[in-house]
Amino acid sequence: VPEANLNHFRDWKGGYSWTVLGVCGFDALFHWVQTGWEGSAHDGTVYKDALQTGFNVTAGKYYLGDAGFGLDKYVLVPYRGVRYHLKEWARGQR
Query: pTM of the full predicted structure?
Result: 0.68
* DSSP summary character for residue 16: B
Tell me if 20 sits within 8 A of 41, measured CB to CB. no
Residue 4 pLDDT: 83
**Residue ranges making up the domain that contains 19:** 3-91
Residue 80 pLDDT: 74
Domain count, the chain: 1
Question: pLDDT band at residue 30, thresholds of 50, 70 and 90?
Answer: very high
